[in-house]
Amino acid sequence: MASRLREKLAEDQLLHVMAAHSPLSAKLVEEAGFDGVWASGFELAALYGLPDLSFVSMTQHLDMVRAMSGSTHLPIVADIDTGYGNAINVTHVIAEYERAGAAAVVIEDKTFPKVSSLATTGRQQELLRIEEFQGKIAAALASRRDPNFVVIARTEALIAGLGEAEAVKRAAAYESAGADMILIHSKQKTPDEVESFVRAWSGAAPIVIVPTAYPEMNEMRISAFGKIRMVIYGNHAIRATVAAMKDVFARIRRDGGILTVDKDIVSVEEIFRLQGMDRVKITEKRFLR
């Protein structure tokens, strides 16, 4: 999968990577025609009903990545937050995620425990020293067995309110440490801040963006820059899931039954298809005596 992702990145096109939080949602990402799956820490935390504050353990996230890699043929980009510790921890983390089937990881330059980038908790978004995060990147690169495995460095300088100059400085330092790509994140409601960063970026490393807060940043607008190679839709799977469930649950309670909603949701047969029940039937005929 790492080789497949590298091949996609070598092509002159923007890669669209959609968030998932389960093998089922990963299958739907593939069927919708996306280029990759974002193994979202935010979505998994939400699935457990927990805040995105490093409450979900590496084991929990790693198990989900492993399960998703068995259900999709798409490259998985794993959201490993701050790397679950310092550079020493990162050497272990990279080996585990590579073994679990991930094609890439995104590691961010915040301190542990992290605070969700888009959260308004009042807590300050604290960043590591540049040199310390460079060490984490170097550790990640040294630990990968497959040289095609992609290490994406994510700077939260704009999230922390440190400004464009600091963001560019950090991105350049992370590229010099060997990062394959640079993810720039912003919680501004317009894309102006990110677009300004992209214009200021003179490095060779391609840029990754997550336009959750500024949804008008569409494919045409992104492609015009020529420097952005990947767009991650970071939490839309879990948000769509919650919206659909809330609607259906409310209608069932309102109507006193399932009659009116039944026609608006997928059939049991469609769930069987996604579960691979057709393969079960074939196996039954072949082996059950």
Q: Same structural domain for residues 171 and 277?
A: no
Output the tens digit of pLDDT for each of the chain's 289 residues.
Answer: 899 999 999 988 899 999 999 999 999 999 999 999 999 999 999 999 999 888 999 999 999 999 999 999 999 999 999 999 999 999 999 999 999 999 999 999 999 887 777 776 555 678 999 999 999 999 999 999 999 999 999 999 999 999 999 999 999 999 999 999 999 999 999 999 999 999 999 999 999 999 999 999 999 999 999 899 999 999 999 999 999 999 999 999 999 999 999 999 999 999 999 999 999 999 999 999 8
- Annotation says 146 is catalytic: no
Q: Same structural domain for residues 210 and 228?
A: yes
Q: Same structural domain for residues 230 and 248?
A: no
Report the pLDDT value the prediction gives residue 220, as an integer from 0 to 100.
Answer: 92
| CATH number where 39 lies | 3.20.20.60
Give the chain's domain count: 2
Cβ-based burial of 153 (10 A; exposed 0-12, middle 13-18, buried ≥19): buried
- 192-200 helix and 164-176 helix, angle to the nearest 10 degrees: 50
Q: Same structural domain for residues 33 and 12?
A: yes
Q: Same structural domain for residues 146 and 195?
A: yes
Calculate ∠ Cα 22-26-30, nearest 5°: 170
Q: Which residues contact 15 (CB under 8 A, 6 or more apart)?
A: 8, 9, 35, 36, 229, 230, 231
One-letter-per-residue 3-state SS of the chain: CHHHHHHHHHCCCCEEEEEECCHHHHHHHHHHCCCEEEECHHHHHHHCCCCCCCCCCHHHHHHHHHHHHCCCCCCEEEECCCCCCCHHHHHHHHHHHHHHCCCEEEEECECCCCCCCCCCCCCCCCECCHHHHHHHHHHHHHHCCCCCCEEEEEECCCCCCCCHHHHHHHHHHHHHCCCCEEEECCCCCCCHHHHHHHHHCCCCCCEEECCCCCCCCCHHHHHCCCCEEEEEECCHHHHHHHHHHHHHHHHHHHHCCCHHHHCCCCCHHHHHHHHCHHHHHHHHHHHCC
Full domain range(s) for residue 276: 242-287
Which residue out of 35, 52, 81, 180 is catalytically annotated? Answer: 52
Q: Same structural domain for residues 164 and 282?
A: no
